[in-house]
Amino acid sequence: MAPLLAAPASSSPKLCRSWRVLLGLLALLVAVDLSAADMYSEIELVWGASRTFFFMDGDSEAVALSLDPWQGSCFRSREKYLYVQVDVEIKLIQGDSAGTVCTIYMISEDPWEIHDEIDLEFLGNVTGQPYTLHTNIFANGVGGREQQFRLWFDPTADYHTYSIVWNPKHILILVDGKAIRDFKNNEDQGVPFPTWQSMRTFGSLWSAEDWATQGGRIKTDWSLAPFVGYYRNYNATWCRPSPGVAWCGDEPKSSTRFDLDQKTLADLQWARANQMIYTTAPTPSGSTPPLSPRSARCNNEKKTTTHSHRSDWMIDHIVITLHQFISSCTAGPSGLNIGKI
């Protein structure tokens, strides 16, 4: 049986440390029965299946995406949504993550020329420097509505909840329940707003070293690969219509149901004043330069075959990979200290 991940041919201490992180994650899978995992039933792998792992993080079901010099990884929701609140907890790559992009976003499918999209992209940085949360919204193929924020905490130290709230009047982006961005429905003023195309949720980890970190001046240190980002507790809550209304899109315009409350307005004002670092005006579709193959958007890739995740299948691969790892690190520490992920 071919190994899930081939251990490096020759191992520096830095490479051995990187492989301990991934092997520690693999070790968590040995004692886990994933057949009933709710997150596994909510999402499916799109590409990079051999670099993606379902596991139990405490009492929570989680998935880890990884990126190496050859490929990243991606999942998507099995369901499509039209007006929804999506919540997911994410723990970002620790240490030097320059050039990497970890995402959670929603996007419609064909036709691409008039697609809708809601983006949260976490741009990696060198050790000790903050992540940038890059957001963008496309409606009917028109994007360029970019806003960037600095987070007010270390997003690599623990999980934090990131949310997209999409209803007929607003698209809100929240961090730990605090609204940081609002895109209001102003279709009556000629501004496109997503109202009719259903969207899936995607999570991905990919390389954008040509632009992601300090304008591309800082490149990825691939000797630190694999890079790993963690997602858990994915939840999608459909918009429920009011009594007597067929669906949320039929809510009367006079309804105040989706109006923003005072706390949300205050949170938005605080985020704009204290955390926003960049914003743009809308531009025509197609203004973004094409992405390299390693950083291709996963919604355009052919879905890969998902693994069964049977524990015996995983144990076979773990044993092989551990054997290769120990052999490659014989010049390193005498003991294998996997530690806590």
- As a whole number of angstroms, the distance between CA 11 and CA 18 comes to 10
Q: Is 42 a catalytic residue?
A: no
Q: Which of 117, 146, 209, 251 is catalytic?
A: 117
pLDDT at 334 over 60: no
Q: What is the pLDDT of residue 305?
A: 36
- As a whole number of angstroms, the distance between CA 178 and CA 340 comes to 29
Please report which confidence band the pLDDT of residue 18 belongs to, taking 50, 70 and 90 as the band edges: low
Q: Any bridge partners for residue 67, and if so which?
A: 227
- As a whole number of angstroms, the distance between CA 297 and CA 273 comes to 32
Q: Report the pLDDT averaged over residues 109-119.
A: 93
pLDDT at 287 over 90: no
Please report which confidence band the pLDDT of residue 289 belongs to, taking 50, 70 and 90 as the band edges: very low
Instruction: Give residue-wise pLDDT tens across range 186-211.
Output: 999 999 999 999 999 999 999 988 88
Q: Which of 42, 61, 89, 121 is catalytic?
A: 121
Q: Is 109 a catalytic residue?
A: no
Residues 6+ positions from 108 with CB-CB distance below 8 Å: 115, 116, 117, 194, 197, 198, 199
Q: What is the pLDDT of residue 253?
A: 85
Q: What is the pLDDT of residue 304?
A: 38
Higher pLDDT, 133 or 325: 133
20-24, 226-230, 330-334: segment of lowest average pLDDT: 330-334
Q: What is the pLDDT of residue 129?
A: 87
Q: What is the pLDDT of residue 213?
A: 82
pLDDT at 294 over 50: no
Q: What is the pLDDT of residue 140?
A: 94
Instruction: Give residue-wise pLDDT tens across range 129-179.
Output: 899 999 999 999 999 899 999 999 999 999 999 999 999 999 999 999 999
Q: What is the pLDDT of residue 250?
A: 95
Which domains, and CATH codes, for the chain? 1-33+309-333 (no CATH), 36-295 (2.60.120.200)
Q: Which residue has the tokens 């499918």?
A: 109
- As a whole number of angstroms, the distance between CA 320 and CA 111 comes to 44
The CA-CA-CA angle for residues 284, 288, 291, to 5°, reads 150
Instruction: Give residue-wise pLDDT tens across range 225-283.
Output: 999 999 999 999 999 999 999 999 999 988 999 999 999 999 999 999 999 999 985 54
pLDDT at 309 over 70: no
pLDDT at 303 over 80: no
Higher pLDDT, 340 or 206: 206
Which among 175, 228, 224, 166 is positioned nearest to 200, based on CA atoms?
166
Instruction: Give residue-wise pLDDT tens across range 41-88.
Output: 999 999 999 989 999 998 899 999 999 999 999 999 999 999 999 999
Give me the percent of the chain exceeding a pLDDT of 90: 61
Higher pLDDT, 328 or 243: 243
Q: Report the pLDDT averaged over residues 297-308.
A: 43
Q: What is the pLDDT of residue 280?
A: 87
